[in-house]
């Protein structure tokens, strides 16, 4: 066959294909036109989301909707977009939750290492100068006390809890003068009762710390209950009490999240208005209104490979962007370039479980639109706050997650860890605990 004959054959073939394609397109347009003329636009939009016919792929034999197996279904609404997350995305037990489950609920995780714990707790509040003065005054008297002076004596030997020995605590033992005079003469009268409680709890904390260290030195394991008891005693020094909310008194609770029954329980609940006859407790709940939710882990934070020291080049880059990144380091939806700016001391499982616990107790919080949390890892404390509106919470419960801009999303803010056996870190913990203790006794 000559080249000219081949070209003719190809032209004829191309023409036939083009004619068949145009005929097929014409039939398809005719079919679409017929369908659209018989179905109203509103009905057509609804039908595209779900079919109401029994036995269809999206319905069971009775016509009831089946659970979606896809990751999400979208439905357009004027002004907003609703995303329905599949029920299978959330484990039925909180201790199986991970960071991705919090992010799937459209909650932004924000790392705020430069925000002081007290500033995190007071965020958004109207400045109360009288309360601030009380916190400063109580902190000043605490720092002057002989007991805290003894605790500061650990600084020259303390590097980490795992290396602390019971022999280092001998300097913390009270002398005879401290045993006779539990309340120093320089304490104002209005603070005497408060200081008396502080003194008693501080003595108990020193005893527990000694017993925990002796247990380890004798070859026994330090259990999570020991770490929890030690922390509760330390918090009690500043008036923050857990009451009957800690293990083993706290029962497994069930809450509705994303139209699923999720089971779980926090390690410690710090309730509002301890021992008050005026505190209202909701029918069927275990505790009064919640001031803070606490998760306790036996082990100290584990550094991963991504937490290796930054190179000088990266440090320079972070320094330039510190204004934007220091206060806000968001979740996986943000740029991958800031992998060094992620949470270094909390793994995905702790974030997921604690975030779920805050979500659990959000309806019982004493503060409008936010609930406080604590994560204890050995002797290191991280302060957290979950902030969202009542509408956003209801959307999460019902499984209608609103896709907003990052500024409109629910936010889980996380501080850096503070070791309560280090004087430098303890300065920030004391004022935050005094504030939380005041909230326990405040009617809001």
Nearest-CA neighbor of 243 among 280, 212, 272?
272
- Output the pLDDT for position 295: 95
At 402 the pLDDT is 63
Running along the chain, 444 residues long, what does each successive block of 10 average in pLDDT? 45 48 51 44 38 44 42 42 56 93 93 95 87 90 84 88 89 58 73 86 90 94 94 94 66 86 92 60 61 94 52 38 40 39 80 96 92 97 96 90 69 96 95 94 54
Give the pLDDT confidence score for residue 424 in this predicted structure.
93
pLDDT of residue 200: 87
Which residue, among 272, 339, 329, has the nearest Cα to 306 in the 3D structure?
339
Contact of 318 with 114, CB cutoff 8 Å: no
Q: Looking at residue 361, what is its pLDDT? A: 93
C-alpha–C-alpha distance, residues 337 and 335, integer Å = 5
| Residues 6 or more apart in contact with residue 378 via CB below 8 angstroms | 161, 162, 227, 297, 298, 299, 300
Query: Which residue, among 115, 118, 113, has the nearest Cα to 430 in the 3D structure?
Result: 118
Cα–Cα distance, 174 to 193 (Å, whole number)? 20
Contact 292, 337 (CB under 8 A): no
Specify the residue for token string 């995305």: 89
Instruction: Tell me whether the omega of the peptide bond preceding residue 248 falls within 30 degrees of 0, making it cis.
Output: yes
Alpha carbons 417 and 380: distance in angstroms, whole number:
6
Q: Which residues pair with 376 in a beta bridge?
A: 296, 381
φ, ψ dihedrals at 22, nearest 5°: -65, -40
Helix (H, G, I), strand (E, B) or coil at 42: helix
Which pLDDT score, from 0 to 100, does residue 37 have? 43
- The CA radius of gyration of the chain, in Å to the nearest whole number, is 30
């Amino acid at each position: 066959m000559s080249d000219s004959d081949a070209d003719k054959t190809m032209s004829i073939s191309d023409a036939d294909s083009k004619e068949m394609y145009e005929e097929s397109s014409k039939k398809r347009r005719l079919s679409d036109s017929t369908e659209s003329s018989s179905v109203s636009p509103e009905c057509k939009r609804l039908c595209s989301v779900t079919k109401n016919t029994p036995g269809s792929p999206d319905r069971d034999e009775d016509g009831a909707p089946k659970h979606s197996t896809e990751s999400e279904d979208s439905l357009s609404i004027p002004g907003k977009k609703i995303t329905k997350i599949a029920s299978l995305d959330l484990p039925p037990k909180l201790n199986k939750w991970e960071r991705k489950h919090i992010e799937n609920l459209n909650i932004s995780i924000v790392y705020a290492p430069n925000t002081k714990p007290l500033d995190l707790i007071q965020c958004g509040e109207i400045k109360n100068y009288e309360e601030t003065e009380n916190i400063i005054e109580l902190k000043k008297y605490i720092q002057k006390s002989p007991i805290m002076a003894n605790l500061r004596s650990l600084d020259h030997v303390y590097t980490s809890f795992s290396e602390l020995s019971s022999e280092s605590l001998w300097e913390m033992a009270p002398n005879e003068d401290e045993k006779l005079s539990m309340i120093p003469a320089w304490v104002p009268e209005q603070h005497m009762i408060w200081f008396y409680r502080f003194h008693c709890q501080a003595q108990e904390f020193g005893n527990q710390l000694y017993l925990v260290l002796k247990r380890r030195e004798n070859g026994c394991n330090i259990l999570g209950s020991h770490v929890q008891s030690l922390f509760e005693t330390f918090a009690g020094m500043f008036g923050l009490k857990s009451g009957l909310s800690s293990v083993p008194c706290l029962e497994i609770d069930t809450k509705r999240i994303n139209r699923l029954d999720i089971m779980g329980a926090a390690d410690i609940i710090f309730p509002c208005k301890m021992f008050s006859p005026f505190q209202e407790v909701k029918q069927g709940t275990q505790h009064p209104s919640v001031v803070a939710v606490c998760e306790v882990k036996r082990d100290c934070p584990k550094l991963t490979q991504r937490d290796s020291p930054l190179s000088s080049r990266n440090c320079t880059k972070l320094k330039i962007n510190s204004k934007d990144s220091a206060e806000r380091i968001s979740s996986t939806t943000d740029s991958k370039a800031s992998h060094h700016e992620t949470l270094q001391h909390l793994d995905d499982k702790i974030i997921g479980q604690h975030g779920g616990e805050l979500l659990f107790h959000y309806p019982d919080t004493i503060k409008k639109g936010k609930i406080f949390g604590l994560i204890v890892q050995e002797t290191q404390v991280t302060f957290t706050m979950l902030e969202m509106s009542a509408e956003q919470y209801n959307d999460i419960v019902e499984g209608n997650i609103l896709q907003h801009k990052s500024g409109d999303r629910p936010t889980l803010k996380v501080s850096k860890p503070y070791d309560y056996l280090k004087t430098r870190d303890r300065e920030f913990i004391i004022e935050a605990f005094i504030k939380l203790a005041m909230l326990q006794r405040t009617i809001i």
